[in-house]
Amino acid sequence: MKIKREKEKKNKEFKLNNSMLLFVMLAGYFLLVLSLFTAFELLKLANTLSLIQILSITIPIIVLLYKKSEKTKDILIVIGIYLFILLVVPFIYNKTYDLTVDGNSYHKTAIAFIKNGWNPMYETSRKFQENNDNVVKIEKGVKIDLWIEHYPKATWIVAATIYNMTGNIESGKCITLILSIMLFIINFNILRKILDKKWSYIISSLVVLNPIVLAQFFTYYVDGIMGILFLIEILLLFLVNPKEKTNIWIWLCLVSICTIFTNIKYTGLLCSGVIAATFYFYWLIKYRKDKDFVTIFKRVTINFIIVFVTAIFFVGLNSYVKNTIDHHNPLYPIIGKDKVDIITTMQPKSFKNKNMVEKFVVSLFSKTENVVYGDREPQLKLPIKVYKSEIGELYAPDVRIGGFGPLFALIVIITTPILIYSVVKIIRKEKSFAPYIYLPAIAIIISSILVGENWWARYVPQLYLFPVGAILSLVYIRKYNETKVNKAITILSLLLLCLNTLAYAYINVKQLETFSQISKDIKEMKNTKDLKLKLTGMHDLYGYYYTLNDNGVNYTIKEDITTENMRYKYSWRIGVETNEKVH
């Protein structure tokens, strides 16, 4: 009897198969990079990025070899994939190019500053650039240093570490792909507990192919990453059993994911906190009459304190803590008396007098367009109709109106009643399954409301989980009674989601063609003698200069190049003087 109980207990324990070993190792890599950077930053140790990269890659391997419980062949395969992801994938991204405004203004600038030795804890970016000839100087009157100094810096730190390894500023964008792989792994492993392998693959692919992720796949934008981290945190918390002894691997992964999430942007702190609070209070309510309640309370409370102390008060030192010390406001300059309004000019003029719900509905049921203040107004359309112009709008990484894609409104109309029907049926049949439905739903709804500007899809990538959840629930209820209607609706919903995703995939393929041409342009510019160029339009897009520098292009900035004497190379924002000679 004792042997049987021990066997049952062992079967309930969290097990690390090969794919989950890879997940844990990658989570460990991110946590090590951020923790080591912060520690060295506090100690004022310079030029440590190479050491950070070496330690962050090798320590998870050493731990795996020390704790190995799998076959040697399997361990070697996991290590091989792990090394490929961290050592090869970044170099592949060297040939992709972030052409966005945000990417080339403050994102790349911050990454380059950190890579070249900036210590954001102890010095301003302006002071740093005075004594460093390896960075492009931020001009007087340009305010991107406001964002560089005060925004959370997790992705910048990891990207700078990767940049230091590859020597190319574009390589750090691979973070989105790495986290996408991690999401697929954990989602697949959890779904295999309730679905067959085929549907586990399909649903896991759908959650990764979030329109916001696809729109920002080759950029330094972080909204897609927010959507990825949102679901990973939820899935990790589903693996936690508060009644059992703390599982070190699950909680280490939670520390890693919540640390990135909290330090990626200010709304990351909000979303990560909402998810954690949802599960925390659910556990306290669920186990309030349990004889071990005090132990459970202490365990989950201490674990969450460790998670968020690490995220906010350690890794977040150079943003949350420093902002509090300098400005008495951890979220400076987004909220508070000195806040900078970054929304009004980014939204349609008519939105100024609309409430949150009105703006959300208008955006959802309008044509996919990048409408801004003083431009045009959103145009309502039939949800089933797709305009050719909508596909072209998807080149932007932050489409404002209809930002989830041209078919998303139709998808919402079809999947919402499906989701309600399926959920009711599941709860009636399996009451114990209810938390797996309402906990994510509560976290998604509350976080989407608190974000405020939920009409702008990039700020609420988690909303995409509702239609995917509808398909998941439809597939799940087949075990009760599979009908032809159920099968038809599942296929229809899946088809619509795939078609909507296909529009983004098409744009990404076209971007790869553009990248190929850009590589040729840069090669030509590299072979041009006495190359003279200037940035056209906005003058704070210093990221373009870093990309040219990293590719060995020698140039002189000449502001008086006339339009008649200029052609565009690499980007429509870079004008090259036409009288140069190629050698």
DSSP sequence for 333-344: TTSSTT----SG
CA distance 97 to 99: 6
Beta bridge partners of 567: 576
Smallest CA-to-CA distance from 60 within 257, 253, 304, 309 is with: 253
CA atoms 179, 67, 75, 50: torsion sign: positive
Long-range Cβ contacts of 251-255 (<8 Å, 24+ apart)? 251/303, 251/306, 251/307, 252/24, 252/27, 252/28, 252/31, 253/23, 253/24, 253/27, 254/303, 254/307, 255/31, 255/306, 255/307, 255/310, 255/311
- pLDDT tens, N- to C-terminus, the chain (583 residues): 444 444 434 434 456 899 999 999 999 999 999 999 999 999 999 999 999 999 999 999 999 998 776 688 899 999 999 999 999 999 999 999 999 999 999 999 999 999 999 999 999 999 999 989 999 999 988 989 999 999 999 999 999 999 999 999 999 999 999 999 999 999 999 999 999 999 999 999 999 999 999 999 999 999 999 999 999 999 999 999 999 988 999 999 999 999 999 999 999 999 999 999 999 999 999 999 999 999 999 999 999 999 999 999 999 999 999 999 999 999 999 988 888 888 878 899 999 889 999 999 999 999 999 987 767 899 999 999 999 999 999 999 999 999 999 999 999 999 999 999 999 999 999 999 999 999 999 999 999 999 989 999 999 999 999 999 999 999 999 888 878 888 999 999 999 999 999 999 999 999 999 999 999 999 999 999 999 999 988 889 999 999 999 999 999 999 888 888 899 999 999 999 986 554 4
Q: Up-side HSE of residue 567: CA atoms within 13 Å toward CB?
A: 7
Helix (H, G, I), strand (E, B) or coil at 169: helix
The reported pLDDT for the residue numbered 579 is 66
Residue 343 is encoded by which pair of tokens? 């929304």
Give the angle subtended at the CA of 392 by the CAs of 391 and 397, to the nearest 5°.
Answer: 95
Q: What is the C-alpha separation between 580 and 583, in angstroms, rounded?
A: 10
Report the candidate in 281, 274, 227, 235 with the shortest Cα–Cα distance to residue 254.
235
**pLDDT of the residue at 578:** 83
Quick one: which H or E segment has residue 581? strand 581-582
Contact predicate 162/174, CB 8 Å: yes
d(CA 308, CA 273): 9
**Distance (Å, whole) CA 560 – CA 540:** 17
Cα→Cα distances 60→19, 21, 31, 68, 70, Å: 14, 10, 11, 12, 15
pTM comes to: 0.95
What angle do helix axes 72-87 and 18-42 make, rounded to 10 degrees?
50
What 8-17 contacts at long range (C-beta under 8 Å, 24+ apart), as own/partner pairs, is 12/241, 12/244, 13/244, 13/247, 14/239, 14/247, 14/249, 14/250, 16/69, 16/249, 17/189
Question: Side chain identity at 441, as an amino acid letter?
Answer: A
How much is the pLDDT for 562? 86
CA nearest neighbour of 159 among 228, 90, 223, 104? 90
For residue range 493-535, list pLDDT tens digits in order.
999 999 999 999 999 999 999 999 999 999 999 999 999 999 9
**Burial environment of residue 286 by CB neighbours within 10 A (0 to 12, 13 to 18, 19 or more):** middle
Please provide the average confidence, as pLDDT, over all residues in the chain: 93
311-326: string of b/e by CB count within 10 Å (b at 16+)? bbebbbbbbbebbeee
Here the tokens at position 76 are 């070697």
Q: How many helices and strands in the chain, by DSSP H and E?
A: 26, 6
Distance CA 345, CA 134 (A): 34
Q: How do the domains of the chain map onto residue ranges?
A: 16-327, 347-507, 527-582
| Under 8 Å between Cβ of 398 and 368 | no
Amino acid at 29: Y
CA 426 from chain center: how many Å?
31
Sequence-ordered strand ranges (E) for 489-579: 528-529, 532-535, 556-557, 566-568, 574-577
What is the bridge-based pairing of β-strands 556-557 and 528-529? unpaired
Question: What is 450-470 written as a DSSP string?
Answer: HHS-TTSGGG-GGGGHHHHHH
Tokens of 567: 């052609």
Residues 348 and 401 sit within 8 Å (Cβ to Cβ): yes
Q: Are 440 and 465 in contact (CB under 8 A)?
A: yes
State percent of the chain over pLDDT 90.
Answer: 85
